[in-house]
Amino acid sequence: MNRFDYIRPASVAEAVAAATQPGSAYLAGGTNLVDLMKGGALRPDCLVDISRLPGLDRIEWLADGGLRIGALVRNADLAHDALVQARFPAVSEALLSGASAQLRNVATLGGNLLQQTRCPYFYDTASACNRRAPGSGCDALQGENRSHAVLGWSDHCIATHPSDLCVPLVALDAVIEVQGPQGSRGIPLETLHPLPGDTPHLETMLSPGELITAVRIPAEAIAVAGHARYLKVRERTSFAFALVSAAAGLELDGGVIRKARLALGGVAARPWRARVAEAALEGGPATAEAFARAAEAALADARPSGDNAFKIELARRILIRALQEALAGTPEQRPALPASPFAPPSGARHVA
């Protein structure tokens, strides 16, 4: 680990001013950043500790029924909030499927959104990685790549975004509140992470020094609360990143789908909103045939980036399964294995 300066600002304005300096990085829970620094994959010159900034650790219900979540809210607090579980159940399910209880007690909302890819070549400083060292190449292209992207990748980077939480948030039209040197602005979460193209080192749309202060979920998204699920396929049952995942929410009028909200995880460098699949479902019947057609539409542009053609069919199947589970209704109690397609029947008690 390189030597670095450490600053603990007293306000958001002070934090932004400090982070505009080249080589600076924000530090909150540190569950991802510190590991990357230990391995030498990231070498910031200055850490700006925002973990004690006032006002960023609140879960607030807005007058219109929407939700505002401060960037420093801990994942565990958000996952176990009773109203969040009732109104945005897929958010809770996604959080509980990621990491361990100990990590969820430390990790923050903002850090979850900005966590780095888990591509092993990004972490290995002896490997070529355009995301870590622009212009160096991508060893993943000819390496071990069965877990890599099948949508939106380029010859410069085939990594995937690892967040579970981002997948339902994107499906629910979440918006990020950002404070920076030029003031405040909102960014749809769907556009926060650009596709790699020929500049994979540009990992977000944030400008230098900009700080995520909160995430807003609009009140309209509550309409799918009764029929919403997040499902995830992973290499092992516990504490693993998704090979593929899917968030599905349905607003039903009898047997007709009035509104569909769909997103995929583990398939691209960003959480993937499946809008073409949503359009294929809306206004039609909630049937197995309709779900299959939607899954085909969602993966129509998918192509292997290496030894991972199986992920395309796996993503189709997990999306169909998520739609089936959503149609059946949101469980009153969380499954014992949150987000797992192999969980016991709905209604089983969760064991922490």
* Nearby residues of 176 by Cβ (< 8 Å), 6 or more positions away: 113, 186, 187, 188, 189, 192, 212, 214, 215, 216
pLDDT profile of the chain (352 residues), mean per 10: 93 97 96 94 96 97 97 96 96 92 93 96 97 98 97 98 98 98 97 98 96 98 98 85 97 97 98 98 98 98 98 98 97 78 56 38
Edge-to-edge, what's the strand order for the sheet holding 67-70? 59-61, 67-70, 211-217, 175-180, 183-188
pLDDT (tens digit per residue) in 57-76:
999 999 999 999 999 999 99
Q: What is the reported pLDDT for 317?
A: 97
Using an 8 Å Cβ cutoff, are 93 and 338 in contact? Answer: yes
Q: What is the reported pLDDT for 237?
A: 73
CATH numbers and ranges of domains, the chain: 224-328 (3.30.390.50)
Q: What is the reported pLDDT for 40?
A: 94
Q: What percent of the chain has pLDDT over 90?
A: 90
| DSSP run (H or E) holding 292 | helix 288-298
Residue 46 pairs with which residues in a beta bridge?
5, 24
Residue 129 pairs with which residues in a beta bridge?
138
Q: What is the reported pLDDT for 99?
A: 83
